[in-house]
Amino acid sequence: MSSSSLLFGVMSGTSIDGIDIILIDKINMKIKVLDFLHLPYESQIKNKILALHIPSHNDLEASIQTSKIHAKITASGINQILKKLNIKTSLVKAIGYHGQTIRHKPDMQYSIQIGDAHLLAELTKISVVSDFRNRDLVAGGQGAPLVPTFHQDIFSSKNKNRVILNIGGISNITFLPTQDSILGFDCGPGNILLDHWIKEHKNLNYDTAGKWARSGTLIKELLTSFLKEDFFKKIPPKSTGRDLFNLEWINRHIKKEYSLEDIQNTLVELTAISIINSINKFCPKTDEIYICGGGSQNLYLLERIKSLSALDIKTTNNLNIPPQQVESIAFAWLADKTMQKQFNNTPSVTGAHGPRILGTVHFS
């Protein structure tokens, strides 16, 4: 095993917008970002991934083929960074490779992420750590969220009870109290429903800065219907994904004609309210909130979140890590723990029966 402090983290979130690749230098408790690269998915690749969320003929073979494509794109990005910085592969300890989730079924104890870790190790000549979720799942946990212990390591405060709010496709919370055990769970939809709706009706991948949603008006009866979803009533530990929150879910609640922009506005309100309700209910002593993830770019969503809470709300830029780099750094951090044979799950968050070492190592 390499004693190097250099680590890659690779994250592909539920928004399915692309692959984030980061190279960090982790020395003891300090993390230095050396480079960051976002590789957007081409439409053809995104459509392949979306198709894998629904059972279909020969989807097993399709998932294997798409896994190899994902690994090749990731390898090209990693090799690009290494060439740019003139770093030899032998100097990198490992790649933390989350892959792209296509199914997440904690009630059935499995979670599937595509991405061929064997091929990635072959193409980069670097050890790869992948499949982080399933060990936690078979130990009785949710397999998500996985990053609260990382959040605790780099974002905790001695005198402030902090919430780290990640808004990706799904929104999730890490509560970092000054004294009690940390808490983490999925709140519900983040960008996922917003992206579905604007893709379906405007053929755009996302609502830039929330401008389309801002042009609409809240539909109170539709919001009330959305909020009746059983997931919002569950207590942590809990996790969710595209298996539940999707275009079909939206359409199931629409009982009559509404303007498209009014529905988009209402979906923003659903995300904002489900987040603030979760914080108020399960993290009542919160002093401040720091937001990360792609949702931090949706200015209208941020305005709605701030309007619903009297708390101090900022992004993780104020904690010296850009919002869109947090999750990729987290998987580099998780991989480092795996390589050192250290526990890296959070039983108090996921509900697992105890500490476990997450991740499967594919040596270079």
Distance from the first to the final alpha carbon of the chain: 10
Are 281 and 311 in contact by the 8 Å Cβ rule? The answer is no
Residues 36 and 170 in one domain: no
Identify the domain containing residue 104 by its residue range.
Answer: 6-143+326-362
Residues 174 and 120 in one domain: no
Residues 64 and 153 in one domain: no
Residues 304 and 333 in one domain: no
pLDDT tens-digit series, residues 164-220: 999 999 999 999 999 989 999 999 999 999 999 999 999 999 999 999 999 999 999
Cα angle, residue 210 at apex, residues 207 and 212 outer, rounded to 5°: 70
Residue spans of alpha helices (H) in the chain: 43-51, 59-85, 117-124, 134-138, 148-155, 192-202, 211-214, 220-226, 247-253, 260-282, 299-307, 326-339, 347-350
Tokens coding 268: 């923003």
Q: What is the pLDDT of residue 1?
A: 43
Kindly tell me if the per-residue pLDDT of 268 is higher than 90.
yes
Mean pLDDT of the chain: 96
Kindly tell me if the per-residue pLDDT of 2 is higher than 80.
no
Any domain includes 257:
yes
Considering its fold, how many domains does the chain have in total?
2
pLDDT tens-digit series, residues 236-249: 999 999 999 999 99
State how far the Cα of 106 lies from the Cα of 362, in Å rounded to an integer.
25
Residues 319 and 217 in one domain: yes
Neighbours of 178 (CB within 10 A): 13
E strand segments, 267-321: 288-292, 312-315
Kindly tell me if the per-residue pLDDT of 36 is higher than 70.
yes
Residues 89 and 216 in one domain: no
Residues 91 and 160 in one domain: no
Kindly tell me if the per-residue pLDDT of 153 is higher than 50.
yes
Q: Name which of 54, 143, 145 is nearest 106 in CA terms.
A: 143
Residues 339 and 201 in one domain: no
Residues 253 and 350 in one domain: no
- 3 state SS of 94: strand
- Counting every residue written for the chain, the total comes to 364
Q: What is the CA radius of gyration of the chain?
A: 20
Report the CATH number at residue 202: 3.30.420.40
Residues 121 and 200 in one domain: no
Residues 287 and 184 in one domain: yes
User: Which region holds residue 171: left if phi is over 0, alpha if psi is between -120 and 50, else beta?
Assistant: beta
Q: What is the pLDDT of residue 38?
A: 98
Any domain includes 1:
no
Residues 216 and 265 in one domain: yes
